[in-house]
Amino acid sequence: IANLHKKELTFKFVIIGDFGVGKTSIINRYTDGEFSSSYKVTIGADFAIKTLEWDEDTRINLHLWDIAGHERFGTLTGIFYRHCVAAALVFDLTRPDTFNSIKKWLVDLRKKASLPGGQPIPTILLANKGDIITKTIPAEINEFCLENNVMAWFVTSAKDNVHIDEAMLRLTNSALKNH
Ligand code: GDP
Ligand code: MG
């Protein structure tokens, strides 16, 4: 029997990081279960929806906001971040400069987004393209997370579907706790 009284929650997550790190691929993998190696540039900000039948009484709609186009610092307006309750920072393990950029993305995020009580929104760090052999995990990643209120980091692969569900689950659990 369908539960007609199911509570419906909507959470907005933002997925940020440099151009080409795999943000759109991660979102597509998570919402459609698909990966495409062809390069598509989306124009403007965009979001995809993932619906989770969380439990008997609760359905969760995740709105995953994607930056589209040529990501540059400071170009994201407050509208992109408005009402977001969690964030995934993404860098590309094969391009160390994209990890350095994470610091700037985080400054932008902390400046423009916070929980209604003023606390920083739950944030995770994704080291993407973990399927590619030539890669080095930045030595300072643990320290960086500790210092910047980043609650966890994962090596992910949008290509091979590694750790993407786990990462999103961490964010969803935090969003539920804060809700
Ligand atoms: P975005 O600019 O951050 O949205 O990056 P895209 O999702 O468009 O990905 C950029 C390129 O990297 C595309 O060619 C993707 O196919 C590729 N890519 C994304 N994620 C992965 C991954 O986990 N592994 C590999 N090998 N390639 C990936
Ligand atoms: Mg993209």
Question: Which ligand 1 atom minimizes the distance to the CA of 37?
Answer: 16
Torsion, Cα 40 43 45 46, to 10 degrees, reads -50
Instruction: Quote the ipTM score.
Output: 0.99
Which 8-state DSSP code applies to residue 121?
P
Question: Which ligand 1 atom minimizes the distance to the CA of 40?
Answer: 8
* Ligand 2 centroid to residue 17 C-alpha, Å: 10
What's the pLDDT tens digit per position in 42-89?
Answer: 556 678 899 999 999 999 999 999 886 656 655 667 788 999 999 999
Task: Give the whole-angstrom CA distance, residue 177 versus residue 171.
Answer: 10
The predicted pLDDT at position 71 comes to: 63
Task: Give the whole-angstrom CA distance, residue 128 versus residue 21.
Answer: 7
Give the residue, 47 or 16, on which the prediction is more confident: 16
129 sits in the region (left: phi over 0; alpha: psi -120 to 50; else beta) called left
The two tokens of residue 111 are 């400046």
Of the residues 14, 21, 25, which should be mutated to test ligand 1's pocket, given the most ligand atoms within 8 Å of the CB?
25
158 lines ligand 1 (CB under 6 A): yes
- Which ligand number lies closest to the CA of residue 46? 2
pLDDT tier at 39, thresholds 50, 70, 90: low
Task: Give the whole-angstrom CA distance, residue 98 versus residue 113.
Answer: 21
